[in-house]
Amino acid sequence: MEHCFGLMPVKPRGRIISTARELFRKCGIRGIGVDAIAEAAGTNKMTLYRHFGSKDELVAECLRDVAREVEEMWTQVEAAHPGDTLAQLHVWLRCAADYKIQDDCRGCDMANAAVELTDTDHPARQVIEDFKRKQRDRLARLAREGGIDDAELLADTLILLLEGARVSRQSVGAEGPCAHFMTSAEAVIESFLHKSGGKPARAKRATETAKAS
C-alpha cells in the first residue's frame, strides 16, 4: 500500500513533526498516540522513537517548530513595513484575526499545550514560556518604538485580547466574543495613542535607527 504525501517533507523526521502537529491540534496531545502519529506520517513507531526519544520530547519539538514558523512570520511582517512599527503591529493583529477565521481553528498550540500538560516539569513548558515571553517583549518594543507611552501595558492588553479570543473561540465558537477581537484591539490601540499625545513622527524615526543596528 503506497502513501501519497502532498507537500509533506521527504524525510521521516519532518513528516513526523508535521503530522504530529496536525494530530495534536485536532485530537489534543493526550488524545492521540505515538503509534497513530507514526502511521499517519507514513512511518512507524520505532523510527519516531529513534528521532525523538519520547512522546514528551516530540511534543516539545513540535512546539519549537511552531515557534520557528511564527518567527518566520515576523520577519515577513517586518519586511512588509520596514521601520513602521505601528503598521507591523496592525498587520500582526490582522494575521491573528484571519487565522481565527479558519474552520478547524483550535486556538494557540502553545496555550493549548500549557492547559493540557499539567506537569510543570514537562520539557515543552520551557518552550512555551520562552515563546510567550519573547512575543510579549517584541510587542512591547513595537509599541514603544511606535511612540506609545505605556507600551508595556498596551502590549499586555493586546496579548490578553488575543489569547482570550483564541480560547473563547473554542468555548463559544467564532460568533462569540472573539468575533469582535479586531475591533476591540483597534479600539484599545486608539485609546493608547490618544493618551500618548502627539509625537508619532519622532517615534517613526526612532524605529528606523533601531532597525539599523
Interface ranges with a second copy (CB under 8 A): 26-28, 30-31, 106-107, 110-112, 114-116, 118, 128-129, 132-133, 136, 152-153, 155-157, 159-168, 170-173, 176-181, 183-184, 187-188, 191
Query: Nearest Cα to 51, choosing from 71, 63, 34?
Result: 34
Q: Is 9 in the site for DNA (CB under 7 A)?
A: no
Cβ proximity to DNA, 47 vs 164, nearer residue: 47
Of 8, 28, 55, 87, the one binding DNA by CB under 7 A: 55
For residues 150 and 185, the answer to whether their CB atoms sit within 8 Å is no
Backbone conformation region of residue 185, classed left if phi is above 0, alpha if psi is from -120 to 50, else beta: alpha
Instruction: Name which position in 43, 135, 157, 168 contacts DNA (CB under 7 A).
Output: 43
Closer Cβ to DNA, 62 or 189, answer by number: 62
102 binds, among DNA, a second copy, none (CB under 5 to 8 A by kind): none
Q: Which of 168, 165, 170 is nearest to 182 (CA)?
A: 165
CA 24 to chain centre: 15
Q: What is the DSSP string of 10-26?
A: SSHHHHHHHHHHHHHHH
Query: Could you say which of 8, 9, 28, 34 contacts DNA (CB under 7 A)?
Result: 34
Of the residues 47, 70, 150, 204, which one makes contact with DNA according to CB under 7 A: 47
Identity of the residue numbered 2? E
Q: How far is CA 20 from the centre of its chain?
A: 17
- Residue 75 vs 120, nearer CB to a second copy: 120
- The entry of DNA, a second copy, none near residue 51 (CB within 5 to 8 angstroms by kind) is DNA
